């Protein structure tokens, strides 16, 4: 809502500025020369800027929809495939990796021989 109010205020200031500067100006483009009211130049530039922002927003929206669609497909694919829940040993800290020991390999040192 704040963005809408800000946009309307900027549009109002641009319109007031354009109407107050209605004198004709000479436009030179290579060999072409034309006299155009400044109000048309100001409003045309504002309209061109608004169109550029609009098309950039549309492009961003399509790109985001494509990303969401790709993530949804990946999620469906991940749910349909069997999962291996084992954590690779190289990702687990060494002090947390259980050591495999065989009780038969251990010497029983609790009792003295004899």
pLDDT at 7: 87
Residue at 47 is within a domain: yes
Give the integer Cα–Cα distance in Å for 16 and 23.
Answer: 14
Residue at 82 is within a domain: no
Residue at 45 is within a domain: yes
Give the integer Cα–Cα distance in Å for 39 and 22.
Answer: 5
- Whole-model pTM above 0.75? no
Residue at 60 is within a domain: yes
Q: Tokens 């922002």 — which residue?
A: 53
pLDDT at 86: 66
Residue at 90 is within a domain: no
Q: What are phi and psi of 15, to 5 degrees?
A: -65, -45
Total number of domains constituting the chain: 1
Range of the domain at 15: 10-75
The CA-atom distances, in angstroms, between 3 and each of 11, 18, 29, 46 are 12, 22, 36, 17
Residue at 15 is within a domain: yes
pLDDT at 106: 58
Q: What are phi and psi of 23, to 5 degrees?
A: -65, 145
pLDDT at 67: 92
Whether 42 and 23 have beta carbons less than 8 Å apart is answered as no
Q: What are phi and psi of 3, to 5 degrees?
A: -60, -40
Walking along the chain (114 residues) 10 residues at a time, the average pLDDT comes out as: 88 88 88 90 90 94 92 85 68 66 58 59
Residue at 33 is within a domain: yes
**What are the start-end ranges of the H helices in 21-100?**
38-80
pLDDT at 84: 65
């Amino acid at each position: 809502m704040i963005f809408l109010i800000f946009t309307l205020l900027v549009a109002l200031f641009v319109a007031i500025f354009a109407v107050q500067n209605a004198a004709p100006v000479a436009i030179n483009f290579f060999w072409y020369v034309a006299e155009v009211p400044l109000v048309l130049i100001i409003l045309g530039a504002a309209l061109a800027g608004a169109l550029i922002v609009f098309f950039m927003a549309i492009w961003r929206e399509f790109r985001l929809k494509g990303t969401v669609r790709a993530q949804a497909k990946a999620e469906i694919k991940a749910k349909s495939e069997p999962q291996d829940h084992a954590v690779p040993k190289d990702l687990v800290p060494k002090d947390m990796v259980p050591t495999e020991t065989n009780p038969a390999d251990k010497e029983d040192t609790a009792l003295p021989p004899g």
